[in-house]
Amino acid sequence: MLIPFLIPFVIAMFLAINMGGSGTAPAFSAAYGANLLRRAAVPGLFGIMVFLGAIIGGQETAKTMGKGLLAEEMMTFTIVSIILASVAIALLIANLFGIPQSTSQATVLAVVAPAVYFDSLNTNKLFFEIIPTWLIMPFIAFFLALLIGKYIYKPIRRKGYTISKKVNDNFLLKGLIVFMSMYVAFSIGTNNVANAAGPIAIMSVNELNISDAHFLQVLILATLIIAPSFGIGSSVFGHKILRNTGKEIVLFGRIEAVVIAFISATLLLLASVVKGIPTSLVQLNVGAILGIGVAKLGFKNIFRKTEVNRFFIMWLIAPLIAFFTSLLLVYLADIQGIIYL
């Protein structure tokens, strides 16, 4: 019993390492792009804030991932291992290309695969809550950043405040940017940790015959195991992804960094706390980056950039890899008769 019980935890830790690499960019690309943090300082800050976010505000999203799409009694050792392994493979591919990827979208589709296979998908949750959130929120981030960039940032820039050494070197502004980056990492904790901790917690409740009243305690224990792996992933994969989003899309000013971080983190936090919707912070963050970039450079110039095109392609491919990998593995497990192990 112990070995099959440990396998999903090991896979979840491997997945969390990949999520940590992918999540580093939306959390700290603003501060890193504004040259306020050294690379060595990022993993520690990231890991601490992710853990706090998961413990304080991650319960609703964990419930969605654990039993909102697939019937909770289906969350066996085998199914949970397949789901987590499929997501880890998809994110590893994205990390190797240095593209920040949506862990939430990949995980949702990995959960959807066995739900479709066994005809137990909660279509209302998927099609009327999760997918509309995915489609709408990046555009909200983009247009909020565009409006702020056009009607607030540009007038400030014309008056010379954005290039003022006195303003940019002010310790309050520097501190605000770092605080916003930590706020983003906290929001990641409320949402993305649930991608691994949610299925693990439900599996543990099922297999150990623990009552639902103790779900929160089980979730906390799962988070204690999984969350530190985010910091490890940040150390291993974070630098290349930070460089791609923080340096190569558009050069951030320090005031812009605050806008980007605040918009993306707040939208993700709302999705997590209000509805428990697993949402792509990566896409919210890049949407805000593009909004600021368009305000500065115009639509044609920002969308001609190679990195932007690569992001869109990988955002489409990685969740599909997770879905079809999960579907294939579920099929193979079913014909071998090990689904309910």
Task: Tell me the domain boundaries of the chain.
Answer: 2-335
What's the average model confidence in pLDDT over 238-248?
58
Q: How far apart are CA 88 and CA 80, in angstroms?
A: 12
Q: Is the predicted pLDDT of residue 239 greater than 70, yes or no?
A: no
pLDDT in tens, 87-97: 888 877 876 77
Q: Provide the H-helix boundaries in 149-280.
A: 154-158, 165-168, 171-191, 194-207, 215-246, 254-270
Residues 6+ apart with CB under 8 A from 245: 25, 26, 29, 33, 100, 285, 286, 289, 307
- Is residue 277's pLDDT more than 90? yes
pLDDT at position 220: 83
Residues in the chain: 341
Q: Is the pLDDT of residue 254 over 80?
A: no
Does residue 306 carry a pLDDT above 50? Answer: no
Residue range 79-107: mean pLDDT, rounded: 82
Mean pLDDT, the chain, integer: 82
**pLDDT band at 250; cut points 50, 70, 90:** very low
Question: 119 is written with which tokens?
Answer: 């005809």
C-alpha separations of 56 from 59, 117, 198 in Å:
8, 34, 14
Across 247-256, 270-279, 313-322, the highest mean pLDDT is recorded for: 270-279
Sorted by sequence, the CB contacts under 8 Å of residue 194 that are 6+ apart come out as 54, 58, 61, 62, 64, 65, 66, 278
Summarize pLDDT for 307-335 with one digit per residue, the tens. 566 667 777 788 889 999 999 999 999 99
Minimum mean pLDDT range among 37-51, 123-137, 173-187, 303-317: 303-317
Give the span between the Cα atoms of 66 and 239, in whole angstroms: 31
